[in-house]
């Protein structure tokens, strides 16, 4: 995976995802100075710079529930985390066992790669 490294120089290409046009972006830089080309509007430059320097993603998954009326509860990071840390985050979610009942919005892990992990559904107790 070529574009998962934080910082780092060189030229990289992205598709802008900010609007349906999907401009093909080229980003090049060293350190914090990033030059973005190919963007038809300023929002693309902001996105390209972020993608180049430090791509961020929300992670959504499921965690195992003990004693619940369902075996799983859906979860998300309540903000974006660094893309490079997603594998770690997923491994920790896989190891998680939550006891029922679970409230929607309940914090399940305080700091998962930089953001809290919260439940996105409620699970009742059996």
Partner 1 sequence: MTGIRATDVAVIGAGPAGLAAAVAAVDKGANVLLLERDARPGGILQQCVHNGFGLHYFGEELTGPEYAARFAGEAARRADRVSFLPDTMALSLDSDRTITAVSPREGPLTIKPGAVVLAMGCRERARGALGIAGTRPAGVYTAGAAQRLVNLDGYLPGRRVVILGSGDIGLIMARRLTWEGAKVLMVCELMPYSSGLNRNIVQCLRDYDIPLYFNTTVSRVHGSERVEAVTVVKVDGKRQAIPGTERVVECDTLLLSVGLMPENELTRMAGIQLDPVTGGAVVDERRQTSLPGVFACGNVLQVHDLVDHVSREAEIAGRYAAGYAKAGTLPMPKLSVSAEGFTRYVVPQRISAEPEGMVDLYFRVGDAVKPARLTVRTADGKTILTRRKKAMTPGEMEHVKVDVSKLTGDVVVVTEAVGNV
Give me the residues that bind partner 1 (CB under 8 A), please: 1, 4, 14-17, 19-22, 40, 57-62, 64, 70-72, 74-76, 83, 86, 90, 104, 120-122
* 91, 52, 45, 112 alpha-carbon torsion, rounded to 10°: 20
Query: Quick check: helix, strand or coil at residue 53?
Result: helix
Q: Which does residue 83 bind out of ligand SF4, partner 1, none, counting CB within 5 to 8 angstroms by kind?
A: partner 1
Nearest-angstrom CA–CA distance, 123 and 63 = 11
Q: Which does residue 39 bind out of ligand SF4, partner 1, none, counting CB within 5 to 8 angstroms by kind?
A: ligand SF4
* DSSP structural state of residue 2: G
Provide, rounded to whole angstroms, the least separation between the CB of residue 109 and partner 1. 16
Q: Which stretch, 19-27, 55-63, 80-88, 113-121, contacts ligand SF4 (CB under 6 A)?
A: 19-27
> Which residues, numbered 39-98, are part of the site for ligand SF4 (CB under 6 A)?
39-41, 43-44
Output 26 or 70, the one with its CB closest to ligand SF4: 26
Nearest-angstrom CA–CA distance, 45 and 87 = 28
Nearest-angstrom CA–CA distance, 41 and 81 = 26
């Amino acid at each position: 995976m070529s574009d998962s490294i934080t910082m780092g120089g060189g030229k990289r290409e992205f598709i802008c995802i900010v609007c349906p046009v999907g401009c093909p972006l080229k980003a090049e830089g060293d350190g914090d100075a990033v030059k973005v080309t190919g963007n038809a509007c300023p929002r693309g430059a902001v996105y390209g710079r972020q993608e180049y320097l430090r791509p961020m993603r929300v992670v959504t998954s499921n965690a195992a529930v003990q004693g619940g009326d369902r075996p799983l509860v859906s979860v998300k990071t309540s903000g974006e985390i660094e893309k490079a840390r997603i594998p770690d985050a997923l491994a920790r979610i896989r190891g998680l066992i939550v006891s029922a009942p679970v409230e929607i919005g309940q914090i399940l892990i305080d700091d998962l790669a930089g953001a809290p992990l919260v439940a996105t559904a409620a699970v009742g107790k059996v």
